[in-house]
A and B are shown apart, each in its own frame.
Chain A
Amino acid sequence: MGIEGIGARVARKEDKRFITGRGRYVEDMVVPGMKYGVFVRSPHAHAKIRSIDLSAAQEMPGVIGIYTGPELKADGIGNLICGWMIHSKDGSPMNMGQWSPLATDTVRYVGDAVAIVVAETRGQARDAADAVVVEYEELPAVTNVVEALKDGAPQLHPEAKGNLIFDWEIGDSSATDEALSQAVHITKMHIVNNRLVPNAMEPRAALGVYDMAEDHYTLWTTSQNPHVARLVISAFYNVAPENKLRVIAPDVGGGFGSKIFIYPEEVVCLWASRKSGVPVKWTADRTEAFLCDAHGRDHVTEVQMGFDADNRMVGLKVDTIANFGAYMSLFSSSVPTYLYATLLSGQYAIPAIHCNVRAVYTNTAPVDAYRGAGRPEATYLLERTVETAARELGVSPAELRRKNFVRTFPYQTPVIMNYDTGDYEASLNAAMQAAQWDTFPQRRDEARARGKLRGIGMSCYIEACGIAPSQAVGSLGAGVGLWESAEVRVNAVGTIEVLTGSHSHGQGHETTFAQLVAGRLGIPIEQVSIVHGDTDKVQMGMGTYGSRSGAVGMSALLKAMEKVEAKAKKIAAHQLEADENDIVIENGEVKVAGTDRTLPWAQVALAAYTAHNLPAGMEPGLKETAFYDPQNFTFPAGCYIAEVEIDPDTGKTEVVQFVAADDFGVIINPMIVEGQVHGGIAQGIGQALLEGCHYDATSGQLITASFMDYTMPRADDLPSFQISHQTTPCTTNPLGIKGCGEAGAIGSPPAIINAITDAIGNNNLTMPATPNVVWKLLHASV
């Protein structure tokens, strides 16, 4: 499609504003009369609120107003909800407790919002927040899911007896039990998927602006899906009807899932703006982000994988307990169910699979989607179990995987998913070649001579992206459809604005979406502008998460483009006195194929707007919209190989080589796709080696609540990555795109852990594999 079309490494159009300091994030916004909001938060993990005394705080300099939960309730502001209904296996609906945006009588995690102070300056608001006196009656707290399910555990919500939100299952339990009873070998694993804090570099922020004259609200917010925010805030939180609420998500500094959800602060800033009569801006500090952003992962799982005498997988049984934190966040229930257990077949033909999931309340921050959302948890347990099985069976890990790969497509798994296409062996072969797998023993021996322990590990992942066919997810409990919309506005001079419901917070849509348009028409990419993130400009859209912008958002754009092109061809055919079926659009011209009869693109656009000479009955203008609803999920897959060296004296792991071989289907911009993989791998290595979110088990205090206590991956923790692509185009969307945003974070943790356990000869390893953890295992095995 030309030098700027599909497949071209086009430098990003959006970069100039970011590299010159002209990005515009929510915290950068200033509106007339704007004041600052600071939240009073619970210092306790679980407590009754006995009283709130505002008298001293209200007298502090600069204070405009202080607002609490009971006032918010009195104004009819609704509770926060989870938008995905899950039914337990006994048929009962999930037990959702109440979550008021400001606590009314009970706080359930450290950081739970109790009041908001609005003041002239940020400092004054903070001072006054410190002067708010809340009298608490402390209650016992529980942070660990296993403890939370025990008799006598502290109870969080009356709606959820025993802290159990749901007890859900998928797959055929008896068939799986039968398969395992016939198995020649069963590999059993106890797997803990460590809790993570997303930590987008831009802390969340919200600016609520109430216009009394119009009875209208504007919310500037750090959101991955501003339209969903508007819908939910309007329909469920009763702040304002949708036509009286504009939501703008301008430049957003990373999301990784954590900015999908609607948080208390967004609702409260809108409400507080009306109460106080001034625009209210709140920006999280980093510790607030640690305390209050939705966390990720936090599963405890028992796995049994059965093999026959030929080392073929015969059955997989999985029992998972998932930590939901103190409240059910917007999409929390979908993560350890339909985004997790449906991927448990991995890349393998496993005839019988059963998974049981118990979702549990604890006195911790809410847990929801974080890069990969369920799929990393599924991949981690599968790929550690397969690797362990290979060691137990005495076969090579590559050959055991190869033997069990799905090889014919479409492939229906026992857990809902229908894989349309793939070539798992191609990625495995490419990764092994790039990693020089065959010569690893020499490198291991050489390392041993230097006193280092060297290990190699692989992981073959699959994920489901392109989320998702609306009817299918509706039948599974989703409260929304997961289509996407696009609008293509051709200006009279031929330049183009694309309005998309997808939202870019680092993914480069302003470039990739423009590449599709510029490539199809053969016009310079500078003539195509992408607009997103504003509900007043863009029609309803569903936002960006689950690696869906390419597969779903760009498919919508393609549909809109096809309509625009069809109309342009009709105009050109009329003016060139040709049959519209003979008209082609290429190199910026609309022409009769095989002739020199041609009109410049800009002239056709102008003709559409002058309307002096259009085909009879044609409406003026050149602007089309489209909604695209996917037919199926897409299934990116690949193979990752990590090589590590461990210093036995310190337990420190160095990742000396990391190879990724991915099948993302058709790629629009390889440079951007590689960047997505790099970032995902870094987050995965972070989970495997560095990042562990820890709550004190009795007090419920978050111990890792700053960058000094929670180890973010830094440049010197990581190697450069070797990346390749193997391509089988997706068969269920028109562009063949599968999606690439989450793969790195999904495939890398088990590769790293498998490499470390290979190096140290001890499989009893939990993430993060810090030097302390590894050193202890090394010394335990001496």
Chain B
Amino acid sequence: MAEITMVVNGRKVTQTVEDRTLLVHFLREHVGLTGTHVGCDTSQCGACVVHVDGKAVKSCTMLAAQASGTEVVTIEGLAKGDQLHPVQAAFKEHHGLQCGFCTPGMIMAAVDMINRHPEGLDEKTVRAELEGNICRCTGYHNIVKAILAASEAVSANRVVAA
């Protein structure tokens, strides 16, 4: 057994879990945050993407023990109260989700993508960067549209903030 301590969505969490516990199971079953999903066994689908110390990580590919001492943000921690993150808002506005199962991972990956591309994004880049996230419902058309729109919204905010 291993004692794990991390900050999840701004709240310190300490739990004792089996050594083999994956970060995704730690979040879902021990912290009770079920927004992060498991869609495959091979780190292909990206439904489990969370942010660990500010970077997008597939939480099915990391042991909880490896994440001990880090700061984790999950889909539940992305909005500020009732104020949606621009990526969340764009997914809703552009119908970037249907069944919603891949959506948390898609949104967390998209936030990371936008953060890594302050210069802005184009369709080709977005499609290439979504390599690690699979959606079976949307054909990606509206996901790409949503991410491009969110990227512009974030850039606009950045300009205003500067």
Chain A residues within 8 Å of B, Cβ to Cβ:
11-12, 14-25, 27-28, 121-123, 199-203, 251-254, 256, 283, 285-287, 505-508, 671-672, 674-675, 678-683, 706-708, 712-716, 718, 720-721, 744
Interface of A is mostly: loop
- Across the interface, name the chain B residue whose C-beta is closest to A29: B34
Asked if B45 contacts A201 (CB within 8 A), the reply is yes
B116 at interface (Cβ–Cβ under 8 A)? no
Whether the Cβ atoms of A679 and B92 lie closer than 8 Å is no
What's the least CB distance linking A260 to chain B, in Å? 15
Give the CA-CA distance A283 to B47 in the complex, in Å: 15
Across the interface, B18 reaches (CB within 8 A) one of A123, A252, A254, A713, namely A123
Q: A678 touching B136 by the CB < 8 A rule?
A: no
**Chain A residues with CB under 8 A of B93:** 11
B44 and A707: CB pair below 8 A? yes
For B103, give its contact among A19, A121, A706 (CB under 8 Å): A19
Q: From known contacts A286-B39, A678-B138, A681-B139, infer whether A201 and B101 are also in contact, taking CB-CB under 8 Å.
A: yes
20 A-B residue pairs with Cβ-Cβ distance under 8 Å, sorted by A, are A19-B107, A20-B78, A21-B36, A23-B103, A27-B34, A123-B18, A201-B135, A252-B99, A285-B41, A508-B98, A678-B141, A678-B142, A679-B98, A681-B139, A682-B140, A706-B41, A706-B44, A713-B139, A715-B127, A715-B135
- Nearest-CB residue, chain B, relative to A709: B42
- Cβ contacts under 8 Å, A121 to chain B: 18
- Contact between A15 and B91, CB atoms less than 8 A apart: yes
Collect the chain A residues with CB atoms within 8 Å of residue B138's CB. Answer: 675, 678-679, 682
By the criterion CB–CB under 8 Å, are A715 and B95 in contact? no
Q: Which residues of B contact A678 (CB under 8 A)?
A: 138-142
**In contact, B97 and A18 (Cβ under 8 angstroms):** yes
Interchain nearest-CB distance for B34 vs A (Å): 4
Closest to A203 in B: B39
Distance (whole angstroms) from the CB of B82 to the closest CB of chain A:
10
CA distance A751 to B92 in the complex (A): 31
Instruction: Tell me which of B74, B92, B99 contacts A19 (CB under 8 A).
Output: B92
| Alpha-carbon separation in the docked complex, A15 to B137 (Å) | 14
Q: Which residues of chain B are near A716, meaning CB under 8 Å?
A: 127-128, 130-131
- Do B137 and A679 touch across chains, with their CB atoms under 8 A apart? yes
How far is it, in angstroms, between the C-alpha of A382 and the C-alpha of B152 when the chains are bound? 45
* Chain A residues in 8 Å Cβ range of B142: 674-675, 678
Find the A residue at minimum CB distance from B99: A506
- Residues in A whose Cβ lies below 8 Å from that of B136: 199-201, 254, 256, 679, 683, 712
Quick one: which of A21, A23, A675, A715 contacts B131, CB cutoff 8 A? A715
Chain A residues within 8 Å of B100, by CB:
14-15, 17-19, 23, 251, 253, 506
Cβ of B149 under 8 Å from chain A: no
Given contacts A121-B18, A286-B41, A679-B136, contact A19 B98 (CB under 8 A): no
Chain B residue nearest to A198 (CB atoms) is B136
Residue of A nearest to B143 (CB): A715
Contact yes or no, B139 A682, CB < 8 A: yes
Contact B131 A254 (CB under 8 A): no
Q: Which residues of B contact A252 (CB under 8 A)?
A: 99
In the bound complex, what is the Cα–Cα distance between A285 and B18 (angstroms)? Answer: 20
Find out whether the CB atom of A21 lies under 8 angstroms from the CB atom of B140. Answer: no
Residues of B within 8 A of A123 (CB): 18, 20
Assess whether B59 is interfacial by the CB under 8 Å rule. Answer: no
User: With A11-B93, A506-B137 as given contacts, are A720 and B123 in contact (CB-CB < 8 Å)?
Assistant: yes
Which A residues are CB-close (under 8 A) to B84? 19-20
The verdict on B38 contacting chain A, using a C-beta distance below 8 Å, is yes
Residues of A within 8 A of B99 (CB): 200-202, 251-254, 505-506
Given A19-B84, A22-B76, A716-B131; 7 other pairs, CB 8 A cutoff = A19-B91, A21-B34, A253-B99, A283-B38, A675-B137, A678-B138, A714-B134
B2: interface (CB < 8 Å): no
Q: Name the residue in A12, A251, A253 with the highest tally of chain B Cβ atoms < 10 Å from its Cβ.
A: A253
Among A14, A675, A707, point to the contact of B42 (Cβ < 8 A).
Answer: A707
The listed residue with most A CB atoms (<10 A of its CB), out of B36, B41, B102, B103, is: B41
How far apart are the CA atoms of A675 and B94 in the complex, in Å?
10
Judge whether B88 is part of the interface by a CB distance below 8 angstroms. Answer: yes
CB-based contact B38/A27 at 8 Å: yes
Among B42, B97, B104, point to the contact of A286 (Cβ < 8 A).
B42
Is B121 an interface residue, CB under 8 A from the partner?
no
- Closest residue of chain B to A681, judged by CB? B139
Please give, as numbers and ranges, the residues of chain B lying within 8 Å of A19 by CB-CB distance.
75, 84, 88, 91-92, 97, 100, 103-104, 107
B72 to chain A, nearest CB (A): 13
Nearest 6 interchain pairs by C-beta: A21-B35, A18-B100, A253-B101, A682-B139, A506-B99, A21-B75
Contact with A along B49-84 (1 / 0, CB 8 A): 000000000000000000000000011101100001
Q: Contact: B37 with A708, CB < 8 Å?
A: no
A675 in contact with B95 given A201-B136, A708-B42 (CB within 8 Å): yes
How far is A506 from B40 in the complex, measured between Cα atoms in Å? 19
A565 to B92, CA, bound (A): 32
Question: Which of A14, A23, A256, A682 is packed against the most chain B CB atoms within 10 Å?
Answer: A23
In the complex, residue of chain A having the shortest beta-carbon distance to the beta carbon of B97: A18
A348 to B20 Cα, complex, angstroms:
60
Complex Cα distance, B130 from A718, in Å, reads: 12
Q: Which of B85-132 contact A (CB under 8 A)?
A: 88, 91-93, 95, 97-104, 107, 123, 126-128, 130-131
Residues on A with beta carbons closer than 8 Å to the beta carbon of B139: 678-683, 713, 718, 721, 744
Contact check, A715 vs B101: say whether CB atoms are below 8 A apart. Answer: no
Cβ-closest chain A residue relative to B102:
A201
Minimum C-beta distance from A289 to chain B (A): 9
- Among A122, A506, A715, the residue within 8 A (CB) of B144 is A715
Q: Are B79 and A20 in contact (CB under 8 A)?
A: yes
- A287: B residues at CB distance < 8 A: 41
B101-A254 in contact (CB<8A): yes
In the assembly, what is the distance between CA of A738 and CA of B137, in Å? 20
Tell me how far the C-beta of A35 lies from the nearest C-beta in chain B, rounded to whole angstroms.
Answer: 13
Confirm or deny: B33 has a beta carbon within 8 angstroms of a beta carbon on chain A: yes
Q: Are A715 and B98 in contact (CB under 8 A)?
A: no
| CA gap between A200 and B138 in the complex, in Å | 12
B103 adjacent to A18 (CB under 8 Å): yes
Q: Which of A122, A202, A679 is the one whose CB lies under 8 Å from B39? A: A202
**From A16, A285, A507, A716, residue with most partner B Cβ within 10 Å:** A716
Query: What is the minimal beta-carbon distance from A658 to any residue of chain B, in angstroms?
Result: 10
Smallest beta-carbon distance B19→chain A, Å: 10
Distance in angstroms between the alpha carbons of A157 and B103 in the assembled complex: 43
Specify which chain B residues have a CB less than 8 angstroms from the CB of A680 in the assembled complex: 139
Chain A nearest CB from B100 CB (Å) reads 3
Contacts of B92 in A (CB 8 A): 11-12, 15-16, 19
Contacts of B131 in A (CB 8 A): 714-716
Question: Is the Cβ of A20 less than 8 Å from the Cβ of B127?
Answer: no
Q: Which of B34, B47, B75, B101 has the most chain A CB atoms closer than 10 A to its own CB?
A: B101
- A253: chain B residues within 8 A (beta carbon): 37, 99-102
In the complex, which residues of chain A have a beta carbon less than 8 angstroms from the beta carbon of B39? 201-203, 286
For residue A706, which residues in chain B have a CB less than 8 angstroms away from its CB?
40-42, 44
Docked pose: A17 CA to B79 CA in angstroms: 12
- Which of B33, B42, B143 gathers most chain A CB within 10 Å? B42
What A residues does B38 contact at CB under 8 A? 27, 203, 283
- B1-45: CB near A (< 8 Å → 1, else 0) gives 000000000000000001010000100100001111111111011
Nearest-neighbour CB distance to chain B for A355, whole angstroms, equals 31
Considering the chains assembled together, what is the distance between the CA atoms of A289 and B36 in angstroms? 19
CA distance A254 to B136 in the complex (A): 8
Residues of B within 8 A of A25 (CB): 34, 37, 101
CB within 8 A of A707: which of B20, B25, B134?
B134
Taking a contact as CB atoms under 8 Å apart, the answer to whether A28 and B123 are in contact is: no
B78 smallest CB distance to A (angstroms)? 7
Q: Distance in Å from the Cβ of B84 to the closest Cβ of chain A?
A: 7
The reply to whether B47 and A201 form a contact with Cβ atoms under 8 Å apart is yes
**Candidates A24, A202, A715; contact of B130 at CB < 8 Å:** A715
